[in-house]
Structure 1
Amino acid sequence: MTKKSEGEEDETVRYVILACARGGKAQNRTLNVTSPRPIRKKECKAKINALKAADEKFRLTTFHNIHNYGLSPKKSHFFRCNREVSESVKES
Structure 2
Amino acid sequence: MAAPQTLTISLDPGLADRLAAATKQSGLTASDLVVRALTDHLDGVTAYGRITDEVNAVKDHIATLAGLIGEALAEPPPGAAEAICRYKPGSA
Do Structure 1 and Structure 2 share a fold, with TM-score over 0.5?
A: no
When you count strand as a share of all residues, which structure comes out higher? Answer: 1
Pick 1 or 2: higher relative contact order, CA cutoff 8 A, min separation 6. 1
TM-score, normalisation: structure 2: 0.21
Greater Cα radius of gyration, structure 1 or 2: 2
TM-score, normalisation: structure 1: 0.21
